[in-house]
Amino acid sequence: MNDNVWEWCQDWFEIYPGGAATDPTGPETGTRRVVRGGAWESEAPCFYGTRLPVSSLFENLEAGVSLDDWLDAFPSVTREQAVRVLEHAHHQVLLPLA
């Protein structure tokens, strides 16, 4: 799915195990559904050159997924991009509190 549409899928969220997959369905149960696509007015920042929302990095890290596993699941994002986002968040959120 692409262009100006969000699609809420029936699949439960799970990091892809890696390798090629055709129509993966994910786990039988879960706590979050998969959302695909996006809209030009969504204002969700994405990683440069992708349609992957930056929020997916934070959501996965909060869920206990390691940065290495997340990068393996989303190969269109470089380690440098992910680290820059994390550093930016650190400077925007944590340093003003100090």
Res 40: pLDDT = 55
Res 94: pLDDT = 76
Residue 63 is classified by DSSP as T
| Residues of the chain below pLDDT 70 | 1-10, 16-19, 34-43, 95-98
pTM for the complete prediction?
Answer: 0.56
Res 91: pLDDT = 85
Q: In whole angstroms, give the CA distance from residue 50 to residue 7.
A: 17
Res 2: pLDDT = 45
**Structure-token match 């349609």, residue found:** 51
Q: Are 55 and 44 in contact (CB under 8 A)?
A: yes
